[in-house]
Amino acid sequence: MSSFYQDYVDLRSDTVTRPTSAMREAMYRAEVGDDVYGEDPTVNQLEEYAAHILGKKASLFVPSGTMANQIAVLSHTQRGDEIFIHRDNHIFYYEGGAAAMWSQATFNQLQGPEGLIPADELESRIRPRNIHHPRPRLLALENTHNRAGGAALSRDRLLPLIQVARNHDLRVHLDGARIANAAVALKVSIRELAQDTDSVSLCLSKGLGAPVGSLVAGTREYIEQARVYRKWLGGGMRQAGIIAAAGIYALRHHVERLADDHSRAKKLAEGLQSLGYHVDMPTIPTNMVMVDLEGDADKFIAALKTKNVLAGAMGLKRLRLVTHLDVSDEGLEHTIDAFSQLLSL
């Protein structure tokens, strides 16, 4: 948190995390070069290491998760192609219509519990190929699923859907912004959750605690094309090793500690439930707590702020509370106490 918010328990998002002292030291000592020329050794190291973790041949360092996803879509599709996506997925819901701008692809929106489209529903929505229909091209998934309360989706749950995509020659992209959270919650490797996909993105600046940056990974040929699109979108960086060093540190030191965030989210959910609040938790929860209110979410958020707690809205009557490395046990106790004082709202 900035000094302005230093007295607050900030549960708005895991994007508000600050670099640790050790991470700052790694950034200070980073070797750098011009990454557009491919000469930044720390960026190269990050991309190689991330590709290994994700089980792909290559990866590309980009400034943001939105850019990672939009590069992925660009690299898979042509104008007019059809993307099959859950209506609450980040690519559709939170990226400002960017696919319409850059890829000029069309979205076929589906729905299902916990952000997961039923396989038979996808099968029914893939139309025969003829001149009246867009070319079915891409299945876009998200894990963990943000609007489903941070639901962690296992490989077994994803595979039937991916098999339908393969049967129809669709490419598969996984928005894995919080894939490390999913892997820790499910007690599997990150690469297991990404292994059946053609491409996957991973965000370094959420629960992993780096200040900036995401990666997109796939085959070497795919990443070479992605590198072209990164340039088109203005994502070519110069001495980016300073921020890449934070990403390396995050991947080496902050993955397993995500279990602490999950534990605190569970503790927070239980505390709010004991007060009588309705908490909606997915089958395999991670670091998010969704609270359904009787009244207006924005009014409740304003009241929480007077108690030095920051929260975010996920609907007119729904709050999202996100634990992360800057939220302590004391912060949780303070938050539960604040909620107890606002029961009448």
pTM: 0.96
Q: Which residues contact 172 (CB under 8 A, 6 or more apart)?
A: 138, 139, 141, 162, 165, 166, 196, 197, 198, 199
Whether 6 has a pLDDT exceeding 80, the answer reads no
What per-residue confidence (pLDDT) applies to 7? 86
CATH number of 31-253: 3.40.640.10
Please, is 48 exposed, middle or buried when counting C-beta atoms within 10 Å of its C-beta (0-12, 13-18, 19+)? exposed
Strand-strand pairing, 278-280 and 288-292: antiparallel
pLDDT for 65 equals 97
Q: Is pLDDT above 70 for 333?
A: yes
Extents of the domains making up the chain: 3-17+257-341, 31-253
Average pLDDT, integer, range 48-60: 98
Residue 219: phi and psi, rounded to 5, are: -70, 165
Nearest to 316 by CA among 338, 336, 337, 293: 293
Average pLDDT, integer, range 306-333: 97
8-44 residue pLDDT tens? 999 999 999 999 999 999 999 999 999 999 999 999 9
Residues 283-287 have a mean pLDDT of 98
Q: Which CATH entry fits the domain spanning 3-17+257-341: 3.30.70.360, 3.40.190.10, 3.90.1150.10, 3.30.9.10?
A: 3.90.1150.10
Model confidence at 131: pLDDT above 60: yes
Whole-number average pLDDT of the chain: 96
Torsion from C-alpha of 215, 220, 225, 230, nearest 10 degrees: 20
Q: Please tell me the predicted confidence (pLDDT) of residue 3.
A: 54
Percent of the chain with pLDDT over 90: 96
Average pLDDT on 251-276 reads 98
pLDDT at 4: 57
**pLDDT tens-digit profile of 173-202?**
999 999 999 999 999 999 999 999 999 999
Residue 245 has pLDDT above 80, yes or no: yes
Query: At residue 1, does pLDDT exceed 50?
Result: no
Three-state secondary structure along the chain? CCHHHCCCEECCCHHHCCCCHHHHHHHHCCCCCCHHHCCCHHHHHHHHHHHHHHCCCEEEEECCHHHHHHHHHHHHCCCCCEEEEECCCHHHHCCCCHHHHHCCCEEEEECCHHHCCCHHHHHHHCCCCCCCCCCEEEEEEECCECCCCCECCCHHHHHHHHHHHHHCCCEEEEECCCHHHHHHHHCCCHHHHHCCCCEEEEECCCCCCCCCCEEEEECHHHHHHHHHHHHHCCCCCCCCHHHHHHHHHHHHHCCCCHHHHHHHHHHHHHHHHHHCCEEECCCCCCCEEEEECCCCHHHHHHHHHHCCEECEEEECCEEEEECCCCCCHHHHHHHHHHHHHCCCC
